[in-house]
Structures are given as structure tokens and as C-alpha cells.
Amino acid sequence: MLSVVVFTKNGWQQTDYDRWSAKLLEDQIAFVVPSSHAGKPNLRFAIVNPTTTIDTIGEILERIEKD
């Protein structure tokens, strides 16, 4: 099963998404891909690992909220 969620953060540009994604990967939390739709940048969660926990998703969301 593949679950995909796409969302945006108000005021963020492509460089903000790129920086945030790189830091998340560097910290070995997750790989959340910066993407775009209709020319507007966004983040795309593609949850493919069956061992992904709600806690991990919560940590990802907390990190974007803080940034």
C-alpha cells in the first residue's frame, strides 16, 4: 500500500522546502520530498515503509511547525 500526503506551509518558497527536507534527511528522521503542483512548491509524504510509526509522522510534523 502506498499512502501519499501533500501539503504546503504558508510563506515558504522552494528553497525553504529544500532546506527543511535536507535537514530532516541529515538528521536521519525521514526523506520527505520537496515537490510542486501547478507551479507551487509543496512537500510530499509517501509512506512506503510498513514500520513507519505515528510517532515518526508526529516528529516530522512538529519539525515543520517549528521551522
CATH code of the domain containing 35: 3.90.1150.10
Residues in the chain: 67
pLDDT at 5: 87
pLDDT at 9: 93
Separation between Cα atoms, residue 42 and residue 33, nearest integer Å:
9
Separation between Cα atoms, residue 33 and residue 22, nearest integer Å:
9
Beta-carbon contacts of 56 under 8 Å, excluding residues fewer than 6 positions away, are 29, 30
Domain encompassing residue 60: 3-66
pTM: 0.82
Per-residue pLDDT of the chain (67 residues; tens, 9 = 90+): 668 889 899 999 999 999 999 999 999 998 898 999 999 999 998 888 888 889 998 999 999 988 8
Domain count, the chain: 1
